């Protein structure tokens, strides 16, 4: 009888294992590999809030490791090999920074969990610009590539990549692009409003107020389809086969078990399905680009290859 009870108890534990697997994440730490206040930090803290308030994971701690486009944090994540309770927020900016900073650690070493959100890029011109659409801008660009200056964020970042992709799609040598990098959106805006550059590139949110005030004209967005609430024609609809999202995602340390990865993916899936997460996306104007598990693994490999090709074409990576 005693032996039978032990067998029954063991059977119950084995049957309970899958349920534990889906929910078995506790004492989670999320690294934002940038300073407080930026996109990765905001994303990390939004995840923390929803996971805790929905009772999916408790407790969740967020900490910052800034520097070198996130690659300092990436190296720290790599050194935490086998730690199944550590996540890191990252995105397209990090994919590029790995290459431009010649990082010794790349994303092939980590454990992909999910792509979460994104923001499409817009190309804008000053209100007084003679360029009414992308065709006008491209015509002037082709006539004298060096004369048409584009303002955007850091060299090799998402804004720079978009300009390189558009140049290539328009038949312009990406190495001849005149790209003026600025450290912040405010400086990019000042250059545009002061008519120091022909065009500017950033996420729609950075230019929204000036577009609505009539100070800037948005002439193209990098999404595949028109975006609700954003009355800007896509680049594709104007004959430029370019699509680019400044996406953000989350990865785990290398060397974690299949069970630990499944539990982390399940936690993100549950978070994504919650009304609170959907409300968070709406409040922050984040586009839902959710992709988890093995599909994100494949996407990350493809995105790393595409980013390398773009950065090589504009001469930033050999």
Q: For 193-242, how does the pLDDT look when each residue is reduced to its tens digit (9 = 90+)?
A: 999 999 999 988 889 899 999 999 999 999 999 988 889 999 999 999 99
- What is the pTM for the complete model shown? 0.82
> Highest-confidence range of 128-137, 154-163, 226-235, by mean pLDDT?
128-137
DSSP tally for the chain: helices H, then strands E:
11, 10
Nearest 5°: the CA angle 304, 315, 136 is 95
Is the pLDDT at 139 greater than 90? The verdict is yes
How many Å apart are CA 29 and CA 192, to the nearest integer?
Answer: 40
Q: What is the mean pLDDT of residues 107-134?
A: 95
Please check whether residue 47 is in contact with residue 271, taking contact to mean a CB–CB distance below 8 angstroms.
Answer: yes
Torsion angle of the four alpha carbons 136, 221, 161, 280, in this order, in degrees rounded to the nearest 10: 160
Over pLDDT 90: what percentage of the chain?
A: 72
């Amino acid at each position: 009888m005693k032996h039978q009870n032990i067998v029954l108890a063991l059977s119950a534990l084995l049957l309970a294992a899958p349920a534990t697997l889906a929910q078995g994440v506790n004492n989670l730490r999320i690294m934002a590999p940038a300073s407080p206040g930026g996109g990765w930090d905001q994303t990390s803290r939004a995840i923390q809030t929803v996971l805790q308030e929905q009772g999916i994971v408790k407790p969740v701690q967020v900490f910052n490791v800034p520097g070198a486009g996130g690659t300092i944090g990436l190296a720290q994540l790599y050194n935490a090999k086998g730690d199944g309770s550590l996540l890191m927020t990252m995105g397209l900016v990090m994919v590029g920074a790995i290459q431009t900073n010649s990082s010794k650690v790349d994303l092939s070493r980590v454990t992909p969990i999910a792509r979460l959100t994104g923001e499409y890029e817009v190309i804008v011109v000053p209100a007084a610009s003679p360029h009414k659409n992308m065709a006008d801008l491209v015509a002037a660009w082709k006539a004298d590539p060096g004369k048409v200056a584009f303002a955007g964020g850091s060299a090799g970042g998402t804004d720079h990549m978009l300009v390189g992709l558009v140049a290539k799609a328009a038949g312009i040598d990406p190495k001849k692009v005149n790209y003026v990098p600025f450290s912040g959106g405010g400086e990019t805006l000042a250059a545009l409003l002061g008519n120091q550059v022909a065009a500017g590139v950033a996420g729609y949110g950075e230019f929204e107020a000036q577009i609505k005030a009539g100070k800037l004209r948005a002439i193209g967005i990098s999404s595949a389809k028109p975006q609700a609430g954003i009355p800007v024609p896509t680049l594709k609809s104007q004959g430029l086969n370019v699509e680019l999202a400044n996406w953000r995602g989350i990865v785990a340390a290398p060397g974690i078990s299949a069970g630990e990865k499944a539990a982390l993916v399940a936690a993100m899936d549950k978070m994504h399905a919650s009304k609170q997460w959907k409300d968070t996306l709406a409040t922050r104007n984040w586009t839902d680009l959710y992709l988890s598990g093995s599909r994100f693994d494949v996407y990350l490999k493809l995105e790393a290859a595409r980013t390398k090709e773009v950065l090589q074409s504009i001469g930033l990576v050999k």
